[in-house]
Amino acid sequence: MLVAATVAASPPAPDLLHERLENGLTVSILADTNMPVVATQVWYHVGSANEAEDSRGFAHLFEHLMFGGSANFAKDELMRHHTRGGGSWNGYTSLDETVYVSALAPAGLGQVLAMEADRMAHLNLTEENLANEKRIVTEELRLRIENNPLTRVGTSVQGAVLAGHPYAISPVGTQEDIERATLAGARRFYQTLYGPGNAHLVIVGPVDAAATMAEVRQTLGAVPARGAPPPDIPDVYGWELRRAVSFTEDLPPVKVAAMAFPLPTDPANREAVRVLHQMLARSAVDPFEEELVRRRRMAVFAMTEGLFFRRGNVLAFGAAYLPYRRETTAFRLIEETLADMSRLEWLTDETVAAAKRALLVNDLERRYYAEDMARAIGTAHWRYGDVHYALEQSEHIRRVTRADVEALWQRHIGSAEGVRVFLKPEHVPWYIAAFGWLYPLFAP
């Protein structure tokens, strides 16, 4: 006999210490003895969206430069320390932040804190290090962007639709940006944005919270005060977006049409957006694909995708067509499908409950992984301004109702004008162009 799965109430949350030190560093420590490793993350609140005209590409470049050694630690000491302890280390750059991550047995935490403090205060910024990392970043740009048609077109779409907005700038930068980087510019960027006043240290794992906070005060708290968060950026919701963009790219022989809808980022809609995204983009059955591909058989492929940033949420509905399809027809089919979806037959108490259960399970699973919990704490502090939100998400999810999701859809998608993106292939085989219209007659 099958038993319906239920999600129990969240376990009691471990104590979370949250403090701002005298030098401006924000520190969050979550002690949980059930975790086997300690996750240490340093969030610098600067991403590509915060770069100035004279520092384009620096956020990603610094992700690499920060592993170049410091006054008291050699270039490869961080790697050796984690390798000896069986741990892991890395860094990543996004539109909104640059984060340095570590996962290691508790005995190695003190050394990690010492190395983070030293590179925050005394990073080795030399012509040799800069030239080496510029070469690495340039090759990464060629591999990830220039040599990948899908990523390349995605970067182009981002820049075109968000023209003038800070999110139009790709975190990877351009070759021109990287070539222009100078040592003097790198040092200005470091002094301005890589100080404790623009950083958040997150520690999660089997530690004594009070003793660890005392150790942090002695190490990172001794870094001289400098740095402050960059000026805030405007929300995508309400920004004057380009309503239609079109590209020709070296893609497979299909045409792709997409309609994107900005969604609000305010706390009142935050969890309803998550539930809606779960129902459409992450469920076993996407109502958009079900209608356009399976029932109407008017597209080869269709999907719903969500993008979530600190100052912008976007829900996009895309479809791939054989290349005989006209642009006007491609968008008409998407509009008709969204109009059918606006009858909300797919939105029931049962489907909302299923989406909420999936989100609650994800929230519970995160409690068992130090790295995931540290990321949630860093996200809650930087994006939502409330570090405790990382421990309270489940309660917010439980309060979302079908009416909340319905109101979100009707206002921001059902009655809104989406941004149109159309992609055409450079080359189309003659037989597809000539006989592609027969596909719906023989498709399974």
Q: 312-321 and 255-263: which strand pairing?
A: antiparallel
Helix (H) / strand (E) containing 314: strand 312-321
What number of residues does the chain have?
444
Evaluate whether 249 touches 152 at the Cβ level (below 8 Å): yes
**104, 82 contact by CB (below 8 A):** yes
- Domain identity same for 297 and 340: yes
- 286 and 151 within one domain: no
CA gap 112, 108 in Å, rounded: 7
Direct distance between the N- and C-terminal alpha carbons of the chain, in angstroms, rounded to an integer: 34
Tokens in use for 443? 């498709």
Contact criterion met (CB below 8 Å) for 275 and 353: no
Residue 208 sits in the same domain as residue 250? no
- Tokens for 22, please give them: 């005298």
Work out the burial of residue 339: count CB atoms within 10 Å of its CB; fewer than 13 is exposed, 13-18 middle, 19 or more buried.
exposed
In a domain, 5, yes or no: no
- Token pair, residue 69, equals 């050694």
CA 86 centroid distance within chain? 27
Cα–Cα distance, 380 to 376 (Å, whole number): 6
Number of domains observed in the structure of the chain = 2
* pLDDT tens, residue order, the chain (444 aa): 333 444 444 444 567 999 999 999 999 999 999 999 999 999 999 999 999 888 889 999 999 999 999 999 999 999 999 999 999 999 999 999 999 999 999 999 999 999 999 999 999 999 999 999 999 999 888 887 777 777 888 888 888 899 889 999 888 888 888 899 999 999 999 999 999 999 999 999 999 999 999 999 999 999 999 988 899 999 999 899 999 999 887 777 788 999 999 999 999 999 999 999 999 999 888 999 999 999 988 999 999 999 999 999 999 999 999 888 889 999 999 999 999 999 999 999 999 999 999 999 999 999 899 999 999 999 999 999 999 999 999 999 999 999 999 999 999 999 999 999 998 887 655 555 555 555 555 555
Q: Which residues, listed in sequence order, are joined to residue 27 by a DSSP beta bridge? A: 19, 201
3-state secondary structure (DSSP) of residue 111: helix
Which helix (DSSP H) or strand (DSSP E) does residue 398 occupy?
Answer: helix 389-398
Whether 11 maps to a domain, the answer reads no
Residue 360's domain comprises 244-442
The domain that contains 199 carries what CATH number? 3.30.830.10
